């Protein structure tokens, strides 16, 4: 069976290699970490016991922050290491943990590669964020007596359907899972159905509620406001957008600013993936808007210089209301989305008007902002259900509904404020999954 699985993996690699090579050459992806991907991994502190956390990309990496913080307190004598699959995930992990954790690219799940990785890492426990259940990883861990835990477990309807089709093949893999700590009872039942023993499936809630920091102000937001010359403008932020959404956003924005009551509305678009920054920049210009690239502003001036620069000069450079050209801000830097969110009057959370699964709307709601998202946010089903049930966010199905929602939110400040307050309260009420998760992990580590 192992030989057959490796053969399937090899065929898959051959099949996707043209796409991977194109992305490598065109977008600079997949160029780093090949030693890691082939299982060559060296820890910072090999003398210590180890907790291995795997988080595939940015969203999963963000979800680890509170868990890692608690584990560091519980197990100061252990080294915590974190792997990620994507370049953006690797970058985010380095931004969050680079000064204190060993970070590496996830090894390919070939038998030989994964055995080599286990030999270098020698984990006492493996924590897989949301899903990421790889057959050889689970098999080798099980054979070595190493617990494997799915943390913040989420099994979408699409993934569930695929696993059901090959349940006879994957069932043994899921039977070897030590614990599946699921976000909801719906996800828990799916884990049970595909093979995880019922007593090993526990509903702990979503740790993303804990990582969503409830606050009314974000450090660095005042500097950002100065950098953008916002002054008395209202800012609409479209965050973590996906392919096909920016055009919708720009069309709706054009309709809004044609109305006199919204002429002071500014728009900031922050695409989800860095490789799309140039594409979105061109789209903004093609639609006849002026383009403000935040990366250029950030590069040209220090915070000290911007803090003393005259308002008049800033307005000329950034907004210039007397100009016939309305400028759109492109957030083409990493790690600044939360600052943009903190300045917004209304936030649209992207990858949701197109069928991409959505982006994290909890971060926006936690900041007490009126939050809007589209119908395709299936990756955040629990948060969507909780927020909509409490009237703490707005769901729009298309461009027309987005325009209507924006019009109402901007014209009726009390309505928008109530949505924002409701959303922030929902985030508060649902926090606590981290402590429950760490309690179960602690029990396994101690027993092991």
Q: Which residues are catalytic?
A: 60
Task: Indicate the Cα dihedral angle 138, 144, 145, 147, nearest 10°.
Answer: -30
- Looking at the DSSP bridge assignments, the partners of residue 349 are 239, 373
The span from the CA of 423 to the CA of 368, in Å, is 7
Q: What is the DSSP letter of 431?
A: -
**How many angstroms separate the most distant Cα atoms in the chain?**
70
In the chain, % helix, strand, coil (3-state, to 5) comes to 55, 15, 30
Picking from 398, 389, 396, 386, the residue whose alpha carbon sits closest to that of residue 429 is: 386
Question: What DSSP string runs through 52-110?
Answer: EEE--SHHHHHHTHHHHHHHHHH-TTEEEEEEESSHHHHHHHHHHHTTTSEEEEPPP--
279 and 291 in contact (C-beta within 8 Å)?
no
Q: What is the DSSP letter of 328?
A: E
If DSSP codes are grouped into helix, strand and coil, which group holds residue 267? strand
Residue 59 neighbours by CB under 8 Å, 6+ apart: 359, 360, 379
Cα 415 to Cα 20, 129, 346, 420, 442: the distances in Å are 47, 37, 12, 9, 44
Residue 421 neighbours by CB under 8 Å, 6+ apart: 368
The span from the CA of 355 to the CA of 155, in Å, is 17
* Cβ atoms < 10 Å from Cβ of 311: 10
The span from the CA of 419 to the CA of 367, in Å, is 12
Surface-to-core class of residue 59, CB atoms within 10 Å of its CB (0-12 exposed, 13-18 middle, 19+ buried) = buried
If DSSP codes are grouped into helix, strand and coil, which group holds residue 355? coil
Separation of first and last alpha carbons in the chain:
28
User: What burial letters (b/e) apply to 206-224, b meaning 16+ CB within 10 Å?
Assistant: bbbbbbbeeeeebeebeeb
């Amino acid at each position: 069976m192992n030989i057959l699985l490796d053969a399937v993996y090899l065929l898959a690699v051959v099949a996707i290699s043209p796409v991977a090579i194109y992305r490598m050459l065109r977008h600079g992806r997949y160029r780093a970490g090949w030693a890691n991907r082939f299982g060559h991994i060296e820890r910072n502190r090999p003398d210590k016991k180890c907790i291995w956390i795997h988080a595939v990309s940015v969203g999963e990496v963000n979800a680890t922050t509170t868990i890692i913080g608690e584990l560091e307190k519980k197990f100061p004598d252990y080294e915590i290491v974190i792997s990620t699959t994507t370049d953006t995930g690797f970058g985010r992990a380095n931004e969050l943990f680079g000064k204190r954790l060993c970070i590496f690219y996830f090894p390919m799940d070939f038998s030989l590669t994964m055995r080599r990785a286990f030999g270098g890492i020698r984990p006492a426990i493996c924590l897989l964020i949301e899903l990421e259940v790889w057959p050889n990883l689970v098999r080798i861990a099980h054979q070595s007596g190493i617990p494997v835990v799915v943390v913040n477990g989420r099994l979408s309807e699409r993934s569930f359907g695929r696993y059901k089709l090959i349940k006879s093949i994957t069932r043994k893999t899921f039977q070897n899972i030590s614990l599946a700590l699921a976000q909801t009872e719906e996800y828990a039942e799916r884990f049970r159905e595909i093979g995880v023993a019922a007593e090993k499936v526990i509903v702990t809630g979503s740790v993303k509620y804990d990582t969503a920091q409830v606050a009314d102000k974000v450090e660095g937001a005042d500097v950002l406001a100065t950098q953008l010359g916002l002054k008395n403008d209202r800012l609409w932020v479209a965050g973590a957008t996906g392919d096909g959404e920016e055009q919708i956003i720009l069309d709706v924005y054009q309709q809004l600013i044609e109305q006199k009551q919204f002429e002071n509305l500014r728009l900031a678009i922050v695409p989800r993936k860095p490789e799309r920054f140039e594409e979105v920049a061109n789209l903004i210009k093609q639609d006849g808007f002026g383009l403000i690239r935040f990366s250029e502003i950030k590069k040209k001036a220090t915070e000290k210089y911007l803090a003393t620069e005259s308002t008049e000069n800033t307005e000329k450079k950034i907004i210039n209301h007397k100009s016939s050209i309305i400028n759109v801000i492109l957030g083409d830097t990493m790690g600044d989305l939360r600052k943009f969110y903190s300045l917004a009057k209304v936030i649209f959370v992207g990858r949701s008007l197109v069928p991409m699964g959505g982006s994290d709307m909890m971060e926006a709601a936690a900041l007490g902002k009126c939050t809007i998202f589209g119908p395709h946010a299936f990756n955040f089903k629990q948060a969507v259900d909780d927020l909509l049930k409490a009237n703490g966010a707005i769901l729009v199905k298309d461009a027309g509904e987005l325009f209507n929602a924006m019009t109402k939110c901007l014209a009726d400040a009390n309505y928008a404020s109530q949505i924002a307050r409701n959303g922030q309260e929902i985030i508060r009420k649902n926090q606590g999954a981290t402590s429950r998760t760490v309690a179960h992990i602690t029990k396994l580590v101690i027993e092991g």
